[in-house]
Amino acid sequence: MDRYRVTPGSTVNLADHDPGDRSEFKGNKSAGKKRQAELAGQLADLQRLLWAEDKHKVLIVFQAMDTAGKDGTIRKLLARTNPQGVKVANFKKPTPKELSHDYLWRVHPHAPATGEIGVFNRSHYEDVLVVRVLDLVPEQRWSRRYEHIADFEQLLADEGTTIIKFYLHIDLDTQKERLQARLDDPEKRWKFNVGDLDHRGLWPEYMAAYEAAISKTSTEDAPWYVIPSNRKWYRNLMVTQIVVDTLRGLDMEWPEPEEGLDDVVID
Protein backbone atom coordinates (compact mmCIF):
# COMPACT_ATOMS: atom_id res chain seq x y z
CA MET A 1 0.00 0.00 0.00
CA ASP A 2 3.11 2.17 -0.14
CA ARG A 3 1.89 3.23 -3.55
CA TYR A 4 -0.39 5.84 -1.98
CA ARG A 5 1.96 6.93 0.79
CA VAL A 6 3.49 10.36 0.35
CA THR A 7 7.26 10.09 0.82
CA PRO A 8 8.48 12.66 3.37
CA GLY A 9 10.08 15.62 1.65
CA SER A 10 8.44 14.98 -1.73
CA THR A 11 6.23 17.52 -3.46
CA VAL A 12 2.72 16.33 -4.25
CA ASN A 13 1.03 17.30 -7.49
CA LEU A 14 -2.53 16.01 -7.22
CA ALA A 15 -3.00 16.11 -10.99
CA ASP A 16 -0.56 13.18 -11.09
CA HIS A 17 -2.78 11.13 -8.78
CA ASP A 18 -5.65 9.44 -10.62
CA PRO A 19 -8.76 9.52 -8.39
CA GLY A 20 -10.13 6.60 -10.41
CA ASP A 21 -7.09 4.37 -9.91
CA ARG A 22 -7.80 0.81 -8.75
CA SER A 23 -4.50 -0.83 -9.48
CA GLU A 24 -3.94 -2.30 -5.99
CA PHE A 25 -6.86 -4.73 -6.21
CA LYS A 26 -7.37 -7.21 -8.98
CA GLY A 27 -10.96 -8.24 -8.25
CA ASN A 28 -14.25 -6.54 -9.09
CA LYS A 29 -16.47 -4.38 -6.88
CA SER A 30 -18.23 -7.22 -5.08
CA ALA A 31 -14.92 -8.99 -4.37
CA GLY A 32 -13.55 -5.66 -3.12
CA LYS A 33 -16.45 -5.15 -0.75
CA LYS A 34 -16.08 -8.68 0.59
CA ARG A 35 -12.37 -8.18 1.18
CA GLN A 36 -13.01 -4.87 2.94
CA ALA A 37 -15.48 -6.57 5.29
CA GLU A 38 -12.87 -9.23 6.13
CA LEU A 39 -10.29 -6.57 6.84
CA ALA A 40 -12.75 -4.64 9.03
CA GLY A 41 -13.06 -7.86 11.07
CA GLN A 42 -9.27 -8.10 11.34
CA LEU A 43 -9.19 -4.50 12.51
CA ALA A 44 -11.66 -5.42 15.27
CA ASP A 45 -9.28 -8.19 16.43
CA LEU A 46 -6.31 -5.82 16.34
CA GLN A 47 -8.30 -3.27 18.31
CA ARG A 48 -8.94 -5.81 21.09
CA LEU A 49 -5.21 -6.34 21.30
CA LEU A 50 -4.51 -2.60 21.25
CA TRP A 51 -6.96 -2.13 24.11
CA ALA A 52 -5.62 -5.07 26.11
CA GLU A 53 -1.98 -4.14 25.66
CA ASP A 54 -2.76 -0.53 26.63
CA LYS A 55 0.53 0.74 25.29
CA HIS A 56 -0.03 2.39 21.89
CA LYS A 57 -2.35 5.19 20.81
CA VAL A 58 -3.58 5.41 17.21
CA LEU A 59 -4.72 8.57 15.44
CA ILE A 60 -6.36 8.46 12.02
CA VAL A 61 -7.00 11.78 10.26
CA PHE A 62 -9.46 12.20 7.38
CA GLN A 63 -9.46 15.22 5.11
CA ALA A 64 -11.28 15.65 1.80
CA MET A 65 -13.48 17.86 -0.32
CA ASP A 66 -17.26 17.59 0.24
CA THR A 67 -18.80 14.27 -0.87
CA ALA A 68 -15.43 12.50 -1.11
CA GLY A 69 -16.64 10.20 1.63
CA LYS A 70 -15.16 10.97 5.02
CA ASP A 71 -18.34 9.84 6.81
CA GLY A 72 -18.84 6.71 4.69
CA THR A 73 -15.21 5.63 5.01
CA ILE A 74 -15.24 6.05 8.78
CA ARG A 75 -18.45 4.00 8.98
CA LYS A 76 -17.03 1.13 6.93
CA LEU A 77 -13.61 1.22 8.58
CA LEU A 78 -14.97 1.08 12.12
CA ALA A 79 -18.04 -1.10 11.45
CA ARG A 80 -16.78 -4.02 13.53
CA THR A 81 -14.81 -2.22 16.23
CA ASN A 82 -15.77 -1.87 19.88
CA PRO A 83 -17.21 1.64 20.25
CA GLN A 84 -15.69 1.91 23.74
CA GLY A 85 -12.18 2.03 22.34
CA VAL A 86 -12.85 4.37 19.43
CA LYS A 87 -13.28 8.13 19.69
CA VAL A 88 -14.42 9.99 16.59
CA ALA A 89 -14.06 13.78 16.66
CA ASN A 90 -15.75 16.03 14.10
CA PHE A 91 -14.24 19.43 13.49
CA LYS A 92 -16.80 21.91 12.23
CA LYS A 93 -16.64 25.65 11.82
CA PRO A 94 -15.02 26.88 15.05
CA THR A 95 -17.23 28.47 17.71
CA PRO A 96 -16.45 32.02 18.91
CA LYS A 97 -14.82 30.52 22.00
CA GLU A 98 -12.66 28.19 19.92
CA LEU A 99 -11.71 31.07 17.65
CA SER A 100 -10.58 33.09 20.65
CA HIS A 101 -7.93 30.44 21.37
CA ASP A 102 -5.09 29.21 19.18
CA TYR A 103 -6.28 26.79 16.48
CA LEU A 104 -4.76 23.68 18.11
CA TRP A 105 -6.53 24.31 21.42
CA ARG A 106 -9.71 22.53 20.38
CA VAL A 107 -7.83 19.65 18.78
CA HIS A 108 -5.45 18.40 21.43
CA PRO A 109 -8.12 17.14 23.90
CA HIS A 110 -9.33 14.74 21.20
CA ALA A 111 -5.95 13.07 20.73
CA PRO A 112 -6.30 9.38 21.67
CA ALA A 113 -5.22 7.88 25.00
CA THR A 114 -3.34 4.57 25.25
CA GLY A 115 -5.36 1.66 23.95
CA GLU A 116 -7.60 3.95 21.91
CA ILE A 117 -8.15 4.65 18.24
CA GLY A 118 -8.88 8.33 17.69
CA VAL A 119 -10.43 9.37 14.39
CA PHE A 120 -10.52 12.97 13.18
CA ASN A 121 -13.31 13.77 10.69
CA ARG A 122 -11.67 16.98 9.45
CA SER A 123 -8.93 18.27 11.70
CA HIS A 124 -6.36 20.95 12.42
CA TYR A 125 -5.61 20.82 8.68
CA GLU A 126 -8.73 22.93 8.07
CA ASP A 127 -6.63 25.75 9.51
CA VAL A 128 -4.34 25.63 6.47
CA LEU A 129 -7.07 24.58 3.99
CA VAL A 130 -10.39 26.42 4.23
CA VAL A 131 -8.69 29.14 6.26
CA ARG A 132 -6.08 29.67 3.54
CA VAL A 133 -8.51 29.43 0.62
CA LEU A 134 -11.10 31.78 2.13
CA ASP A 135 -8.48 34.11 3.56
CA LEU A 136 -9.88 33.76 7.07
CA VAL A 137 -6.59 34.84 8.63
CA PRO A 138 -3.70 36.69 6.95
CA GLU A 139 -1.13 34.62 5.03
CA GLN A 140 1.55 35.69 7.48
CA ARG A 141 -0.38 33.67 10.10
CA TRP A 142 -1.47 30.58 8.19
CA SER A 143 1.89 30.18 6.50
CA ARG A 144 3.55 29.46 9.87
CA ARG A 145 1.03 26.78 10.75
CA TYR A 146 2.57 23.97 8.69
CA GLU A 147 5.50 24.00 11.05
CA HIS A 148 3.31 24.10 14.15
CA ILE A 149 1.29 21.20 12.82
CA ALA A 150 4.34 19.09 12.02
CA ASP A 151 5.71 19.82 15.51
CA PHE A 152 2.35 19.05 17.17
CA GLU A 153 2.12 15.72 15.39
CA GLN A 154 5.74 14.94 16.27
CA LEU A 155 4.90 15.59 19.91
CA LEU A 156 2.01 13.12 19.71
CA ALA A 157 4.23 10.58 17.95
CA ASP A 158 7.09 10.98 20.45
CA GLU A 159 4.60 10.31 23.24
CA GLY A 160 3.49 7.03 21.70
CA THR A 161 0.89 7.90 19.05
CA THR A 162 0.87 6.14 15.71
CA ILE A 163 -0.50 8.61 13.17
CA ILE A 164 -2.01 7.92 9.74
CA LYS A 165 -3.48 10.71 7.59
CA PHE A 166 -5.77 10.14 4.63
CA TYR A 167 -6.66 12.55 1.87
CA LEU A 168 -9.65 11.10 -0.02
CA HIS A 169 -9.08 12.21 -3.60
CA ILE A 170 -12.03 12.69 -5.97
CA ASP A 171 -12.42 14.74 -9.13
CA LEU A 172 -14.87 17.53 -9.94
CA ASP A 173 -17.12 15.28 -12.05
CA THR A 174 -17.50 12.76 -9.24
CA GLN A 175 -18.36 15.55 -6.84
CA LYS A 176 -20.97 16.83 -9.28
CA GLU A 177 -22.62 13.40 -9.48
CA ARG A 178 -22.66 13.01 -5.72
CA LEU A 179 -24.01 16.51 -5.08
CA GLN A 180 -26.72 15.84 -7.65
CA ALA A 181 -27.55 12.57 -5.90
CA ARG A 182 -27.93 14.49 -2.64
CA LEU A 183 -30.34 16.89 -4.31
CA ASP A 184 -32.37 14.11 -5.91
CA ASP A 185 -32.67 11.68 -2.99
CA PRO A 186 -35.09 12.81 -0.25
CA GLU A 187 -33.05 10.86 2.30
CA LYS A 188 -29.82 12.61 1.30
CA ARG A 189 -31.17 16.11 0.81
CA TRP A 190 -30.46 17.09 4.40
CA LYS A 191 -26.76 16.77 3.60
CA PHE A 192 -26.93 19.35 0.83
CA ASN A 193 -25.56 22.79 1.76
CA VAL A 194 -25.85 25.48 -0.85
CA GLY A 195 -22.68 26.86 0.75
CA ASP A 196 -20.75 23.78 -0.40
CA LEU A 197 -21.06 25.10 -3.94
CA ASP A 198 -18.80 28.02 -3.01
CA HIS A 199 -16.05 25.58 -2.05
CA ARG A 200 -16.63 23.68 -5.30
CA GLY A 201 -16.11 26.94 -7.21
CA LEU A 202 -12.68 27.25 -5.55
CA TRP A 203 -11.52 23.75 -6.54
CA PRO A 204 -8.10 24.77 -7.96
CA GLU A 205 -7.38 26.86 -4.87
CA TYR A 206 -8.31 23.92 -2.64
CA MET A 207 -6.11 21.54 -4.63
CA ALA A 208 -3.18 23.94 -4.23
CA ALA A 209 -3.86 24.20 -0.48
CA TYR A 210 -4.03 20.40 -0.16
CA GLU A 211 -0.82 19.99 -2.15
CA ALA A 212 1.00 22.42 0.15
CA ALA A 213 -0.39 20.83 3.34
CA ILE A 214 0.36 17.27 2.27
CA SER A 215 3.82 18.07 0.90
CA LYS A 216 4.89 20.01 3.99
CA THR A 217 3.55 17.64 6.64
CA SER A 218 4.04 14.08 5.40
CA THR A 219 6.66 12.75 7.82
CA GLU A 220 8.00 9.32 8.79
CA ASP A 221 5.94 9.43 11.98
CA ALA A 222 2.82 11.04 10.49
CA PRO A 223 2.58 10.07 6.82
CA TRP A 224 -0.13 11.19 4.41
CA TYR A 225 -1.82 8.77 2.04
CA VAL A 226 -3.56 10.07 -1.08
CA ILE A 227 -6.42 7.61 -1.63
CA PRO A 228 -8.15 7.34 -5.03
CA SER A 229 -11.78 7.84 -4.01
CA ASN A 230 -13.93 8.04 -7.13
CA ARG A 231 -14.96 4.44 -6.36
CA LYS A 232 -16.33 4.15 -2.85
CA TRP A 233 -15.56 0.45 -2.47
CA TYR A 234 -11.94 0.90 -3.54
CA ARG A 235 -11.48 3.86 -1.20
CA ASN A 236 -12.88 1.88 1.76
CA LEU A 237 -10.75 -1.13 0.90
CA MET A 238 -7.49 0.83 0.65
CA VAL A 239 -8.07 2.78 3.86
CA THR A 240 -8.97 -0.36 5.81
CA GLN A 241 -5.97 -2.24 4.42
CA ILE A 242 -3.57 0.56 5.38
CA VAL A 243 -4.96 0.81 8.91
CA VAL A 244 -4.76 -2.98 9.37
CA ASP A 245 -1.19 -3.08 8.01
CA THR A 246 -0.15 -0.22 10.29
CA LEU A 247 -1.60 -1.87 13.40
CA ARG A 248 0.05 -5.17 12.46
CA GLY A 249 3.36 -3.31 12.26
CA LEU A 250 3.10 -2.39 15.94
CA ASP A 251 3.90 -6.00 16.90
CA MET A 252 1.50 -5.90 19.82
CA GLU A 253 1.34 -8.67 22.39
CA TRP A 254 -1.30 -9.83 24.85
CA PRO A 255 -0.33 -8.70 28.35
CA GLU A 256 1.31 -11.26 30.66
CA PRO A 257 -1.36 -12.73 32.93
CA GLU A 258 -0.88 -12.70 36.70
CA GLU A 259 1.41 -15.35 38.19
CA GLY A 260 -0.06 -18.57 39.53
CA LEU A 261 -3.30 -18.61 37.57
CA ASP A 262 -2.86 -22.34 36.83
CA ASP A 263 -3.52 -23.08 40.50
CA VAL A 264 -6.68 -21.00 40.73
CA VAL A 265 -9.82 -22.96 41.49
CA ILE A 266 -13.13 -21.18 41.24
CA ASP A 267 -15.66 -22.62 43.73
**Footprint of Mg ion on this chain (CB under 5 A)?**
66
Q: CB-wise, 122 or 235, nearer to ligand AMP?
A: 122
- How far is it, in rounded angstroms, from Cα 31 to Cα 26? 9
Under the rule (CB under 6 A), what is the footprint of ligand AMP?
Answer: 91-94, 122, 126-127, 130-131
| Chosen from ligand AMP, Mg ion, none, partner binding at 21 (C-beta under 5 to 8 Å by type) | none
| Chosen from Mg ion, ligand AMP, none, partner binding at 26 (C-beta under 5 to 8 Å by type) | none
Q: CB-wise, 66 or 127, nearer to Mg ion?
A: 66
| Chosen from Mg ion, ligand AMP, none, partner binding at 4 (C-beta under 5 to 8 Å by type) | none
Residues forming a β-bridge with 224: 165
Q: In this chain, which residue has its C-beta nearest to Mg ion?
A: 66
Min separation Cβ 176 and ligand AMP, Å = 17
| Chosen from Mg ion, ligand AMP, none, partner binding at 153 (C-beta under 5 to 8 Å by type) | none
Q: Are 36 and 237 in contact (CB under 8 A)?
A: yes
Our CA dihedral for 231, 232, 235, 237, rounded to 10 degrees, sits at -110
3-state secondary structure of 91: coil
| Chosen from Mg ion, ligand AMP, none, partner binding at 59 (C-beta under 5 to 8 Å by type) | none
Residues in Cβ contact with 205 at an 8 Å cutoff, skipping those fewer than 6 apart: 133
What ranges in the chain are assigned the alpha helix state H? 29-53, 70-78, 96-99, 130-133, 139-142, 145-158, 172-184, 196-201, 203-217, 232-248
Min separation Cβ 126 and ligand AMP, Å = 3
Q: CB-wise, 146 or 203, nearer to Mg ion?
A: 203
Q: CB-wise, 79 or 130, nearer to ligand AMP?
A: 130
Q: CB-wise, 93 or 97, nearer to ligand AMP?
A: 93
Residue 224 identity (one-letter amino acid)? W
| Chosen from Mg ion, ligand AMP, none, partner binding at 130 (C-beta under 5 to 8 Å by type) | ligand AMP
Q: CB-wise, 121 or 218, nearer to ligand AMP?
A: 121
Q: Are 238 and 245 in contact (CB under 8 A)?
A: no
Min separation Cβ 7 and ligand AMP, Å = 27
Q: Are 64 and 167 in contact (CB under 8 A)?
A: yes
CB atoms within 10 A of CB 101: 10
